[in-house]
Chain A
């Protein structure tokens, strides 16, 4: 048990209009688990339950080797970072940090020791210079550093992040995301991070748990979950652009031969059981596809289908290419590629799908 930094075991919580059902998850030391799911899925309720704001009807919450199920929030030693960082507006930066050391009673061990700790934390997060400022006078980055310093002051056994960036503008968000990712890597404190943003999840996650309707519908290493969502609904929740439906022609050698439009694909089965004649869905991420001009040679690992470009749309540094291959398919290319290939709506191209990126969905 103590091999886990945090373990939620079979927890059910009933709130007025919402419930968590038999939910289990675990975070190992030094690891970041991202809870990803749509708004209203129950992600925040999971964090609040771990922090001690909801009493489970059944199940246990363990932090390190302590069973904290019956403990109040102030006895659980979690570092909670909320949307907008929830700094105390009537206290200065130093007072915000001091609140944590005083509240935890670390200052009781010695006032001098407590002050030394505060000074060290302010220095570590480059806050000494602005120690007397109020939160209203801080930038987004400074607020985040105060929130982290304040949470660290209590020696948390686990960090809980509840969409800390959701109220920030895009530029600030990108900068803070990198800063936080660096902090999590260096500090090595295990963390649970809630977001509905796929890009944010990608930035932090070692493990990903997809939350839907008050329960975890898929959980695993981030790469694996993002590459191979279990169902079409999960694929949509984690932002997979392409879910195409086809029919199984035959099953052979751990692969299914699928008919999609007028093309035939060989898709790895992994552990899915399908039978000839069955209708199935396949997901593939737009960023895994490449666009080629007719006559260009594809790699041997790719399946190539002819396509007509329907429209091009700018997506930040990338260009989204909507194609018609007899079935709709969305690819992403860089601006430079788009220029080199002279892509334009109406053009005939080839779309290359790496066989390994094709994911057969269940249900």
Chain B
């Protein structure tokens, strides 16, 4: 809405702002309550617990691996979906979005069946590569990847579709560049923002996943599972310290990732 239109309807605009501030409060108030709750001593106590530190480190590591895998596998798929028309494209798109709609406990069971000891993927992976998913780092990554992959694909795809005039890729081909060179030199740099936004979202979604990961690999414990366990065993106070520590580190990383994503593409001409 342009400012001029907003000026003409001050009452409506005011009402919308009131509703909007309710939304903002709904997000900010619980997080502020959380941050205010433990105090410095609670944070220090949580940070002093080796199992809390290990859980946070594990979450960060697994989420980074999941985001990297999502980038390597999801960005090419996003490019294909953005650039080609083929029969059954709608089905492929629906499949990509499926993890967003499947309840996460259900996703966990499904992954357990596929990647478990006797699963169609788990059994050959163990037999051929010695790769086990049940109660392992690999299992945590698989759980995270399943629920977060759609963000990488969809955001990258929007990047490829909206940031790039299709004529640019055509002209690059006529200038002698093959499809791979066009992808790496033209498409990827121009869609950089969308791709990085997708990877950042994937990372954020992956690191916060609880249910899917818990069903496939309760141990070793990721930070969300550790927070849950502290809450069950020792109550709200201990859980809160670990939760705030986790939140702080995740937010810091999120800000750094965004900086990296937008800092690099920020002053480049992305218009058509």
Contacts and interface: CB of A to CB of B under 8 A. Distances in A.
A and B pair up:
yes
A90 B269 contact: yes
B83 interface: no
A136 B189 CA distance: 16
A105 B176 contact: yes
Contact of B173 (A73, A83, A89): A73
A151 B186 CA distance: 16
B61 to A, nearest CB: 33
Interface in A52-101: 52-53, 72-74, 76, 78-80, 82-84, 86, 88-90, 99-100
A3 to B, nearest CB: 24
Nearest to A135: B269
A53 B185 contact: no
A53 B175 contact: no
A231 interface: no
Given A135-B269, A136-B271, A72 B178 contact: yes
A74 B174 CA distance: 5
Contact of B175 (A83, A84, A103): A103
Nearest to B177: A103
Contacts of B168: 86, 88-89
B269 A104 contact: no
A134 interface: yes
B268 A79 contact: no
A88 B177 CA distance: 13
Nearest to B190: A90
A135 B269 CA distance: 8
A337 to B, nearest CB: 44
B178 to A, nearest CB: 5
- Residue of A83, A89, A105, A160 most packed against chain B (CB within 10 A): A89
Nearest to A73: B173
B268 A74 contact: no
Contacts of A52: 173-174
B171 A74 contact: no
A51 B176 CA distance: 11
B190 A89 contact: yes
A12 interface: no
Contacts of A88: 168, 172, 186
Contacts of A104: 175-176
- Residue of B85, B173, B272 most packed against chain A (CB within 10 A): B173
A53 B176 CA distance: 13
Contacts, number: 80
A154 interface: yes
Contacts of B254: none
Nearest to A100: B175
A53 B181 contact: no
Interface in A227-277: none
Interface string B121-156: 000000000000000000000000000000000000
A80 B171 contact: yes
Given A86-B165, A88-B168, A79 B174 contact: yes
Nearest to B178: A74
A308 interface: no
A86 B165 CA distance: 8
B177 A99 contact: yes
A184 B271 CA distance: 30
A82 B185 CA distance: 19
B170 interface: yes
B167 interface: yes
A78 B173 CA distance: 10
A80 B271 contact: no
Contacts of B269: 89-90, 134-136
Contacts of A72: 173, 178
B270 interface: yes
A56 to B, nearest CB: 17
Nearest to B168: A86
Contacts of A53: 170, 173
A270 to B, nearest CB: 41
A52 B189 CA distance: 25
A322 B229 CA distance: 89
Interface string B158-201: 00000001011011111111100100011001100000000000
Contacts of B177: 74, 99, 103
Given A51-B170, A88-B186, 15 more contacts: A48-B170, A52-B174, A53-B173, A72-B178, A73-B173, A74-B173, A76-B174, A84-B167, A86-B165, A89-B271, A90-B268, A99-B177, A100-B176, A136-B271, A154-B176
Interface of A: 16, 48, 51-53, 72-74, 76, 78-80, 82-84, 86, 88-90, 99-100, 103-105, 134-136, 150-151, 153-154, 160
16 contacts: A16-B85, A51-B170, A51-B173, A51-B174, A53-B170, A73-B170, A82-B170, A84-B167, A89-B269, A90-B189, A90-B269, A103-B177, A134-B269, A153-B175, A154-B175, A154-B176
Interface of B: 85, 165, 167-168, 170-178, 181, 185-186, 189-190, 268-272
Name the 5 nearest CB pairs between A and B, nearest first: A104-B176, A103-B176, A73-B173, A89-B269, A136-B269
